[in-house]
Amino acid sequence: MSESDHQASAMTESSAEAAAAGLRTIAPGVRRIVAPNAGPFTADGTNTYLVGSGHVAVIDPGPDLPAHLAAILAAVAGETVTHIFLTHTHRDHSGALAALADATGATVLSGGPHRLARPLAPGEGNPFEEAGDAGHVPDRTLADGEQVTGDGWMIEALATPGHAANHLAFALPAAGLIFSGDHVMGWATSIVAPPDGAMGDYMASLDRLEARPEARLLPGHGAPVEDARARIATLRRHRQGREAAILARLSAGDRTVTELVTAIYRDTDPRLHAAAGLSVLAHLEDLVGRGLVTQAGPPGVGGRFAPA
């Protein structure tokens, strides 16, 4: 029995009932299922969205969990899944994709295979290597601004790199909303961690979404963002404040990521300092690229940084 056959067989009557109970209409023509993968980086779990009725599109199939696949299949019972859209190739969004595609025969669309925001330097590791779905190959790679039309819906792909190099958001203009993936969420700031992501790309992508007319965001984790521009402005101020704090600490004599994290995140749970260090590194690499900071020593978190 193939993996998809095994997972599809998990859709028992009880799982179908659970799917019906957890399925929620979140906007006109849009339903949401939350995967059971709650955690410190996923909020209540990954949001899987169903667009349309009768002939539907799935956005972000979610993690490779048989119960979640069963919930999706139960939710679309009696309907035809024609398209599967993927915002980016992190496994909490793409893990169930292959099995769902096998079960439905739908066309898979994304920003392409997993890729890094920059090449790895000699001797540098990638702390998010296991999170990336290196095996993903879509049926169709979407270009920025490309429109896909289905039965009663039109989705536009928006290139929004930063959290991941191949990250796409998906606009549903008729409903006045954007599926923002992990780029903009209401419950937390997005992780931007080199070499998987890049801060300069992230900030430019914020500008890109802010310029859109859609007022509502449906993120990859957490509740809908009802005022897109206000949330984006808050995220921009947060990142600008973090950048200012980093520059101030460098001027005060801090030179390493560890020193910067200890000073800037002194009120943060030490268990989160490793993740904070990657965020600081993302800011530092952006500052180096803009000529405001210099870097010496090994690449990545082991480098030494100073004001330019």
> Residue 108 pairs with which residues in a beta bridge?
84
Tokens of 199: 């801060």
pLDDT for the residue numbered 11: 38
Given a cut of 50, whether residue 10 has pLDDT beyond it is: no
pLDDT for residue 12: 40
How far apart (Å, rounded) are the C-alpha atoms in residues 174 and 172?
Answer: 6
What integer pLDDT is reported at residue 135 of this predicted model?
95
Angle at 168 between CA 120 and CA 29, to 5 degrees: 155
In whole angstroms, how far apart are CA 11 and each of 16, 82, 91, 96, 192? Answer: 6, 20, 22, 14, 36
pLDDT at 272: 83
Instruction: Please report the pLDDT score of residue 17 as a whole number.
Output: 46
Q: Residue 146 above 80 pLDDT?
A: yes
Q: Is 263 helix (H, G, I), strand (E, B) or coil?
A: helix
Residue 99 to residue 115: CA distance in whole angstroms: 22
Please write down the long-range contacts of 115-120, taking CB distance under 8 Å and 24 or more positions apart: 115/165, 115/166, 116/165, 116/195, 116/196, 117/161, 117/164, 117/165, 117/194, 117/195, 117/196, 117/197, 117/198, 117/201, 118/194, 118/195, 118/198, 118/285, 119/195, 120/195
Residues 82-109: what's their mean pLDDT?
98
What average pLDDT score do residues 142-169 get?
A: 97
How many CB atoms sit inside 10 A of residue 28's CB? 10
Q: Which one has a higher pLDDT value, 79 or 273?
A: 79
As beta bridge partners, residue 80 has 55
The answer for residues whose C-beta is within 8 angstroms of residue 144's C-beta and 6 or more apart is 157, 158, 159
Closest by Cα among 163, 257, 177 to 213: 177
Q: What is the pLDDT of residues 14-53, one digit of tens each?
A: 444 444 447 999 999 999 999 999 998 899 999 999 999 9
**Cβ burial 59-68 (10 Å sphere, 16+ → b, else e):** bbbbbbbbbb
Mean pLDDT score across all residues of the chain: 91
